[in-house]
Structure 1
Amino acid sequence: MIKNYFKIAFRGFRKHKLFTLINIIGLSIGISAALVIYLIVHFDFTFNKFNGDSKQIYRVVSNYTFAGEPSYNSGVCDPLTLVIQSEVPGIDKSAPFYTMYETRVLIPVTDNKEVKLKKETGIILADGRYFDIFKYNWLKGSPRTALSTPYQVVLTSESAKKYFPKLSYSEMIGKEIIYEDSVKTTVSGIVESLKQNTDFIFHDFISYSTGLASKQMKDYFQMTNWGSTSSSSQLFIKLNENTSATTVTKSLNRLLKKYDPPKPEDKGSTKLFGLQKLAELHFDQRYGSFDSTRTANRSTLYSLLLIAGFLLLLGCINFINLTTAQASQRAKEIGIRKTMGGKRGQLIAQFMSETFLISLLAMLISVALAPVILKLFADFIPEGVSFNILSQPHIIVFLILITLLVSGMSGFYPALVLSNYKPVTVLKGQLGSNSSKTRNAWLRKSLTVTQFVIAQFFIMATLLVSKQIYYALHKNLGFKKEAILNISTPYKSIGTGKQQVFLNKVFLMPQVQLVSIGGAPPSSGGTNSSTFEFKDGKKEIATEVELKFGDENYAKVYDLKLLAGRNLIRADTAKALIINNTYARVLGFGTPIDAIDKQVIYNGKKMEIIGVAADFFQKSLRSAIKPLAILQPVNNKWNNRTFHIALKPQSAGGAEWKMAITNLEKIWKEIYTEDDFEYGFFDENIKKYYDAEQNTAKLLNWATGLSIFISCLGLLGLAIYTTTLRTKEIGVRKVLGASVSQIVTLLSAELIWLIVLAFVLVTPMAYYAMHKWMENFADHTTISWWIFVLSGAGMLTAALFTLSLQTVKAAIANPVKSLRSE
């Protein structure tokens, strides 16, 4: 019986090749999108699942509020790690660790050569408590003793093979590894690298006590300072089974109040501890995960699922429309089979088997396309997402489920409709009652409208996102961003005099216009802020102010506009600063000139306002402009390590900048012999702010193109069916004098009106969605009327072109051929 079903199905496919091809293409596009999106979503949602008791594991984080503005830090103050286990009830285990950034690693002579590694990430200071919470498979050594004393290190299997490729794990124990040029450690254990998707990408675990014993590392720790928080100092805890996170959070903040009570100068600011679930580590962008690891966005993942659902739905709609439209061509077959004793259930099974075969073919095509799509979207797809059926059995399960789902969605309703025909009626040439005809027609119209609602929504969304990206990249941000290079000096070299030597040599380069040294550029991803106080005898205003550090050339390099006052000079160090206009308004000054010569208190010192700069965006357009101060760096390595180099304009040939970079690299290698030369153009860094939007635009472009393609395929199929059904009518009308344009209009009018209806329905929905998306930006473009007009016109043009492929052909056909049988 089943074999017979498939035989009949293949015969039908051969008879209706074009409709079968349209259905397969539509479904394969939908399934391909669903498969790739499933790989992305599955990848991100399986992060950090390697611990069986992950529901009880939390990261302690720090939450701040400055003048009503929230701020988040993934780290904690170091003293908390010493007292949390003894003074906070309900905690089963606690594990502090300290992250080291861009670490130098030296492997002494092995096989007659040294191995030197620069800027290594994934290295932390930890102890046995880390391995009590996070479960690793130990290949050599013991978690109880491996990190119990200073100058010990545990390696993952991957890191061990990298450092000592020719040694066995047993031979690696006791080998020496030197960190930061002077911290000599010995290998005390080897653990198996985590194979699951995880943010815990650490591979070198130096004993925590090394940080206190080593003079080189001791500066990193501030074990007695409750007021200092660093994201490097992380703390994870495992709660007892009967303890709630809310209870522990309250205990943590009582402890903070005990050891670090609020001070009068903290007015307007707060600090609280919080608990972040391990499951949220990969998704909570407020805190991030760890150095060099990415955080996913749940909203983006859900949007991807929605796009996959829409594309699948479009393919299914095509199938339903074309199958029900062809009902008349199978009516006699159904009538004869029922007359011969065929039951309705058997007919349903026949039609469902046909749908299953088409879905199966579409699925196989999707499997072939998946690797191509992954390469095509390599910039958008997270690193680590792969497609390998043999090593990923969950993909097989997904493909089976998606094939069954698509078969059910596409085939069930047409099977019910076709199997419900009465044999007496259909053998007389009547498909059914007028009411059933009307019902089926309205269903097809409704599904067609749904298709074009989805397609036009994608078009409108694509146009708006592209408009916002263009707006962000071309808006005057309040500073110069072109032809400026940023180069950061090595942390250890600051204070050695190398910076001044480098600066002097760069000044002499003919391609360089101006050079400044300081901290971050005017717009940067990081934030450095502090509380400023203003007192004028009548009022006291405490404000969280963002800081930018630079010398006397900083404002000149970036062409920052002064509204009042003067620029910084070298003599202003530690006693004068420039503020932005937003901060001047916060202080209550009506005009910028009113703020000049006034004093604010920063770090307990009075500083004079010597200038007011025009506002500029400190971050992307998502963030509002905040109060800001520009001052010269004083005894702070982090705020005095970036060179800001303004290049002269290029000539017509455009070789000066390339020559400048070559010369800079030569100077760098002369001075910083141990460090790699790395640079970045400031305007390129600005563009990176909108990587997410550009990826979204790229995704929407493809989704839009595919949705239009699928919708037009369905439209073409309906046009072919309509013209075939009305062949004799067209012939009669031509004999009676109808023109080609009149016949084309007749055949196209109904479908065109459906597209117009879809436009009317989708416009308010798209406007609302656009408005909500725009709320993510403090400064954004407008939702222009032309977005909707262009979308509607574009969709209408595509539909008219698609319809013309068939309607014009039918309209110019010789009526003699269509009327010959009469």
Structure 2
Amino acid sequence: MNDLKLTLRHLWRNRLFTALNILGLAIGISACWVIYRIIDHEFSYDANLPNSDRIYKVISVFSREGRESRMGGVSAPLYQGIEEELAGVQHVVPVFGQWVSSVEIKRQNQAAFIQEDPSDIVATNASYFKMLPYTWLAGNKHTALDAPESVVLTQSRAAIYFPDIQTEDMLHRTITYCGQDTVVRTVTGIVADYFTPSEFTAQEFVVLPRVAYDTYVWTNTNGSDRLYLQLQGGVDVRTKLDQINELDARHWKAFEDERKSGGNANIPPRIRSYELLPIRDVHFSTNVSDGANVSKTSKPVLYGLLGIGAFLLILACINYINMSVAQIPQRGKEIGVRKTLGGGSRQLIGQFLSETLLTALIASVMAFGLGRLAFWLLDDIIPAGVTAADNIFLFTGFMLGLVLLTTLLAGLYPSWLITKVKTVDVFKNFFASPSVHRFSLQKVLIVFQFTIALIFIICTIIVGAQLRHTMKADMGFDKDATVLVNVPWKYLSDPRYQDKQFTLLNELRNLPGVDQVAMGTAPLSSGYSSSPFGYTPQGEAPVEIISFKKTIDTAYLALYRMELLAGRNIRASDTTSEYIINETAARAFGFTTPEEALGQFIGQRGNSKYPVVGVVKDFHTQDFYTSITPTVLSTYKGDLSSFNIKLDGHDPARWQATLKRIGEKWAQFYPADTYQYRFYDEMLEAMYKQERQIGKLINLATAITILISCLGLFGLATLTAFQRTKEIGIRKVLGATVSGIVGLLSKDFVKLVLIAVVIASPMAWWAMNNWLEGFAYRIEIQWWMFAAAGLVAVVIALFTVSWQAIRAAMANPVDSLRDE
């Protein structure tokens, strides 16, 4: 109890240092907790799936012109081929996405319930529920999908469709699915929601019918048709993958033979193969295209987060060490008295560790509040489903573990240092002697702290510059003041809405505040359609390239201010009759100049060829990670469903009124609730969400690192000023100025920061250069970025130490010299 009183008395007497120590440790502990929660959530995806070591997702790999791309979809018939021809596969689980325009459920004594555009509907087979550990609330998992028009619902989806009905009573109810065909399905099972973070997020499960696929379907790939395999124990994965690719190659060969026998010699080469991706790695497969609704994260980003958390905790401990060592001279007489009264090394170490433990415990309480604040501030970065604390025992255990680790890291060195203080030196006023180089380990720690801070500062500058370059660089088209509105696909095939978009198009052009309107696919988007296009030069071998294909109308080029390098704009036509290509496509076809491409005929495999009437200047069709690819522009009335609306850019204040008028006009042609617009520049920014999140995270880590580093620097400045009190007094008596003394005390810290700049610069350059390599269009790392970071660090260091330096320089020399 007496030791506790002494500990509390010491902490209260040194309130400033205690507060700074608690703040530094609380920041480090809270950062570790937040980062742990994120990483634990991300690595829990399908972590508890039974037999997860034997479950794989089949991935399509496309090789075109020396480049590879990956997609999570497969050829639809592949699952049947594996079931029928390959041994060693315990479960073949197709999961094919289904799209319907609406579902209708009739209710007694009430109007029918209609759900427009329901999501998360998949077609699968009974193996799905054998592979995944769903809890069945009603129905039988072995027979629920036997009947061709059965449907199984999750508990949350069933509650929407059948409110106020007992689970067992939901069985045998019917649901009408409206789309290209109208199908009435019977509910045969209800399963509990699958809450585990997972690749499998479907809410409705319908039967995938077995059909006899034509041979050409083997050459198709659909991103919504996913396939999972659970292999039997002991099966070699490499061998099984070779068998799958051999199976696919045989069916592709059958397609080629069928085409050749029919007199068609224009056969596409097989450019697709398959890979087996372990289910535990699917969540981290950021190189696999799986659609916007599939959750993905990057392992390097998570490891970076882990490193940030570890660094912040280490920096907080270093800060505590520096502050504690800075107080040792002031505690010299206390230490001397304890030793004189018989206090041994263990007692001194125990006393100091108890102070550290108490400080860390207080910091952990504060860390809980900071963690809550962090979850609120970082809402757009922290993944959905991650909470500050959902298990009090886990939280308590984690915090206690961090407190003990922090106590050891932060307390061992200062407590050991106290035992080395000699009693005779204490009473000789040893600590008051000018010894600039004493406790040099502190200077090493300060250099370490500022090295980490400088790495973050440099990364902040470079990431910010790249993101600004990405959004401000010339994309080859004008995106400003442009709004995109899409006609829902279900209305395009509805006879009641046939060609209404073209009438609406003319109406929109006459609205005040609307500058231009065009229809067509946006120039740059996350989705794309590509096809092989061929050209046969006179007397030479045919040339074939894979090209993006975009549908436009006659107003498209003018709205986006795209520059025609040769030829003319496309003419209005209900069907494709001519093409415009970009510069890259012209070069890929072998044309040396844009003019040379005019009048030449190109076309897709098996289709008619049409003349090139124009060559447009290159523009970006994908993000800046990807080089500009060959692109073909054409018009086709049936594919025009996206409105590109250029608002009056001279009066942004009136845009909302214009958008409201557009919505009112829209409601005259389509249901009002389908009017959903997005500014194009905001859509482009959203494509770089992960990069902006990384930038925000680095900015926050930089601010925290600088704060903790400054706390440590403050402690070292306090120690130095205390050690050199009499030196400063003598210098003032001999005529030294305040500015001269401030410069004398500050120059050592500037040296430490400059050393940190030298160490941090190559490390930051290496890390950022690797990150920038992912961009096809990137900035160059400039010398001024490192100079700016160094200048910022020096200014921060000078600002931190100036208070102590000025205070020491302004002190009356009589007070420091009167006892000599």
Greater displacement, 765-774 / 670-679:
670-679
- What is the aligned partner in structure 2 of residue 173 from structure 1? 171
3-state SS of paired residue (1:109)? coil
Residue identity matched to 2:410: S
3-state SS of paired residue (1:574)? coil
- What is the aligned partner in structure 2 of residue 193 from structure 1? 193
CA distance in 1 between partners of 2:550 and 2:386 (Å): 39
- What is the aligned partner in structure 2 of residue 517 from structure 1? 519
* Corresponding residue to 1:225 among 206, 214, 217: 217
Q: 1:503 to 1:817 in 2, by over 3 A?
A: same
CA contact (8 A) 1:461 1:766 kept: yes
* Corresponding residue to 2:547 among 521, 545, 548: 545
- What is the aligned partner in structure 2 of residue 49 from structure 1? 47
CA distance in 1 between partners of 2:771 and 2:394 (Å): 34
State the 1:244 CA deviation: 2.3
State the 1:614 CA deviation: 0.6
- What is the aligned partner in structure 2 of residue 611 from structure 1? 614
Q: 1:201 to 1:240 in 2, by over 3 A?
A: same
CA contact (8 A) 1:199 1:290 kept: no
* Corresponding residue to 1:632 among 632, 635, 641: 635
State the 1:787 CA deviation: 1.6
- What is the aligned partner in structure 1 of residue 528 from structure 2? 527
Q: 1:620 to 1:336 in 2, by over 3 A?
A: same
3-state SS of paired residue (2:592)? coil
CA distance in 1 between partners of 2:99 and 2:286 (Å): 20
* Corresponding residue to 1:793 among 791, 794, 798: 791
CA distance in 2 between partners of 1:475 and 1:509 (Å): 31
- What is the aligned partner in structure 2 of residue 371 from structure 1? 372
State the 1:5 CA deviation: 4.1
Greater displacement, 342-351 / 595-604:
342-351
Q: 1:802 to 1:610 in 2, by over 3 A?
A: same
CA distance in 2 between partners of 1:460 and 1:735 (Å): 44
- What is the aligned partner in structure 1 of residue 119 from structure 2? 121
CA distance in 2 between partners of 1:410 and 1:128 (Å): 57
CA contact (8 A) 2:436 2:720 kept: no
- What is the aligned partner in structure 1 of residue 261 from structure 2? none
CA distance in 2 between partners of 1:90 and 1:141 (Å): 29
- What is the aligned partner in structure 1 of residue 484 from structure 2? 486
CA displacement 1:593-645 (0-9 Å, x = unmatched): 1111122231223222211111111112221111111112375xxx4322222
Greater displacement, 310-319 / 502-511:
502-511
- What is the aligned partner in structure 1 of residue 262 from structure 2? none
State the 1:534 CA deviation: 2.5
State the 1:192 CA deviation: 0.7
Q: 1:110 to 1:731 in 2, by over 3 A?
A: farther
Q: 1:755 to 1:222 in 2, by over 3 A?
A: farther
State the 1:271 CA deviation: 0.9
CA distance in 1 between partners of 2:109 and 2:64 (Å): 56
- What is the aligned partner in structure 1 of residue 663 from structure 2? 665
State the 1:429 CA deviation: 4.9
CA distance in 2 between partners of 1:339 and 1:10 (Å): 22
Q: 1:425 to 1:728 in 2, by over 3 A?
A: closer
**1:409 correspondence with 2:409:** yes
Greater displacement, 417-426 / 551-560:
417-426
3-state SS of paired residue (2:63)? strand
Structure 1 length-normalised TM: 0.92
CA contact (8 A) 2:46 2:280 kept: yes
CA distance in 2 between partners of 1:402 and 1:103 (Å): 52
CA displacement 1:664-714 (0-9 Å, x = unmatched): 222322322386211212122112122222222222222111111111122
CA distance in 1 between partners of 2:802 and 2:313 (Å): 26
CA contact (8 A) 1:94 1:235 kept: yes
- What is the aligned partner in structure 1 of residue 260 from structure 2? none
CA distance in 1 between partners of 2:465 and 2:87 (Å): 54
- What is the aligned partner in structure 2 of residue 395 from structure 1? 395
CA displacement 1:329-364 (0-9 Å, x = unmatched): 344444444454444333323222222221111111
Residue identity matched to 1:707: T
3-state SS of paired residue (1:225)? helix
State the 1:590 CA deviation: 2.0
- Superposed, 1:21-60 pairs within 5 Å as 21-60=19-58
**1:235 correspondence with 2:227:** yes
CA distance in 1 between partners of 2:192 and 2:438 (Å): 62
State the 1:448 CA deviation: 0.8
3-state SS of paired residue (1:533)? strand
State the 1:418 CA deviation: 2.0
**1:577 correspondence with 2:579:** yes
- What is the aligned partner in structure 1 of residue 588 from structure 2? 586
Structure 2 length-normalised TM: 0.93
- What is the aligned partner in structure 1 of residue 237 from structure 2? 245
State the 1:317 CA deviation: 1.1
3-state SS of paired residue (2:217)? coil
CA displacement 1:471-517 (0-9 Å, x = unmatched): 12111110111122222112122253232332233233333333332
3-state SS of paired residue (1:84)? helix
- What is the aligned partner in structure 2 of residue 778 from structure 1? 776
- Superposed, 1:25-424 pairs within 5 Å as 25-101=23-99, 103-109=101-107, 112-180=110-178, 182-209=182-209, 225-261=217-253, 270-288=271-289, 292-388=293-389, 391=391, 393-423=393-423
CA distance in 1 between partners of 2:646 and 2:330 (Å): 74
* Percentage identity across paired residues of the two chains: 35
CA contact (8 A) 2:663 2:672 kept: no
CA contact (8 A) 2:71 2:290 kept: no
Q: 1:432 to 1:743 in 2, by over 3 A?
A: closer
CA contact (8 A) 2:505 2:517 kept: yes
Q: 1:295 to 1:317 in 2, by over 3 A?
A: same
CA contact (8 A) 1:62 1:274 kept: yes
Q: Unmatched 5+ residue regions in structure 2?
A: 257-264
CA contact (8 A) 1:267 1:542 kept: no
CA contact (8 A) 1:66 1:269 kept: no
State the 1:438 CA deviation: 9.0
Q: Unmatched 5+ residue regions in structure 1?
A: 213-217
State the 1:289 CA deviation: 5.2
CA distance in 1 between partners of 2:358 and 2:266 (Å): 74
State the 1:789 CA deviation: 1.9
**1:458 correspondence with 2:451:** no
Q: 1:137 to 1:726 in 2, by over 3 A?
A: same
3-state SS of paired residue (1:486)? strand
State the 1:730 CA deviation: 2.2
State the 1:4 CA deviation: 4.6
- What is the aligned partner in structure 2 of residue 557 from structure 1? 559
- What is the aligned partner in structure 2 of residue 215 from structure 1? none
Residue identity matched to 1:117: Q
CA distance in 2 between partners of 1:110 and 1:223 (Å): 47
CA contact (8 A) 2:152 2:205 kept: yes
CA contact (8 A) 1:744 1:804 kept: yes
Q: 1:385 to 1:199 in 2, by over 3 A?
A: same
CA distance in 1 between partners of 2:645 and 2:611 (Å): 28
3-state SS of paired residue (1:547)? strand
CA contact (8 A) 2:599 2:611 kept: yes
CA displacement 1:719-771 (0-9 Å, x = unmatched): 22222333233223222221111111122121121112111222222222222
Greater displacement, 349-358 / 413-422:
413-422
CA distance in 2 between partners of 1:454 and 1:740 (Å): 32
- What is the aligned partner in structure 1 of residue 259 from structure 2? none
CA distance in 2 between partners of 1:387 and 1:577 (Å): 56
Residue identity matched to 1:693: E
CA displacement 1:44-98 (0-9 Å, x = unmatched): 1111224221111111121111222222221111111212122122211111121
Residue identity matched to 2:527: G
Greater displacement, 570-579 / 130-139:
570-579
3-state SS of paired residue (1:201)? coil
